[in-house]
Structure 1
C-alpha cells in the first residue's frame, strides 16, 4: 500500500471547512484539479453516496463514501481493475480555526505500478486541493 497526506491550518471555523469539502458539486469552480463532478444520487453527501469525478491526466472515477462522520470526516473509495484508491477528508478544530487533513492511499495488486506512474501528479493534486479548500473556506463567500 502506498499513500500520502497533507494537513493545512485554515483560518475558518470547522463548519465552514466542512461545508466546502462536502459540497462536491462546486469543486470544479473551487479546485483547479477537478474538471467535473456528477453526483450519482440525490441529497447531501452521506454514507453510500456515489460521485463521478473527472480530473486532468487521470481516468474518470466513481467514488463511493465508505465512512461518514457528519461535520468532521468522510472517506470515499474508487476502484478500478487491480487498484483501490481511498481518500479521507478530515476537519478538526484548531486554535487558529481548523485543521484540514487530506489523505490518500492506493492498494491492490496493481497499485505499485500505478503509484509509480501517478505519485508525483497525485502529490501535486492533493497539495493543490488542500490549498484550494483552505482558500474557499477562508473567503467570505465560503
Structure 2
C-alpha cells in the first residue's frame, strides 16, 4: 500500500532541499511532526532518526538511500511490517521545483496498519507538503551551514 502527494513550489530546488534535509526543524513548518531527533547529527545513509507525531507511535527510522540535493528514503519496521518514506525534490526551472512525498506500508501487519492509518497519512502528507511550500516561499533564511 502506497500513498503520496506532490506539490509545486516557487523556490529553487536547493532552497527546498535545505529545508527538507534539516529534519530536526520540521516541527517549525508542519503540525504533523512534534519532534525529530537525528541521532547521527547528519542526514546520510545509515543515519537514524526518531520521529514523534500526533496520533502515531514514536518511530525510529533509518536512512537507506540519499541523493544529495534531490532525494532521501528512510525506513522503519518490525515483525511483519515495514514502512518506507520517500522524499524527492525535482527541479522544474531556476526558481521552481516539485516535491513528492510518499509512504508505503509493506508486510502482512504493514498492510493492516496502512489501511487503519490511511486517512491520517493522507492528511499528514498534505500538511507536510503545504508546510514545506510555505516555508520555502517565505522570507525564512536557512541557518548558517545548511
Q: TM-score range by the shorter chain?
A: over 0.9
Other structure's SS at 1:100 match: strand
Q: CA deviation at 1:80?
A: 3.0
Which 4+ stretches in 1 moved above 6 angstroms?
none
Deviations 1:71-128 (A, max 9, x none): 0000000113321110000001114600100011100121222112100100110011
Residue 54 of structure 2 corresponds to residue 53 of structure 1: no
SS in structure 1 of the partner of residue 113 of structure 2: helix
Greater mean alpha carbon deviation, residues 17-26 or residues 108-117: 108-117
Alignment: residue pair count: 140
CA–CA distance in structure 2, aligned partners of residues 58 and 82 of structure 1: 18
SS of the counterpart of 1:15? helix
Unpaired runs of at least 5, structure 2: 142-146
For 1:8, the equivalent position in structure 2 comes to: 7
1:11-65: CA deviation from partner (whole Å, max 9, x where unpaired) = 00000110011001101111110011111113x3111111000000001001111
Residues 5-84 of structure 1 aligned to structure 2 (within 5 Å): 5-42=4-41, 44-84=42-82
CA distance in structure 2 between the aligned counterparts of 1:11 and 1:112, rounded to whole angstroms: 35
**CA RMSD of superposed structures (Å):** 1.1
TM-score, with length taken from structure 2: 0.92
Structure 1-normalised TM-score?
0.94
CA distance in 2, matches of 1:21, 1:81: 29
Aligned residue for 1:121, secondary structure, equals helix
Structure 1 unmatched ranges of 5 or more: none
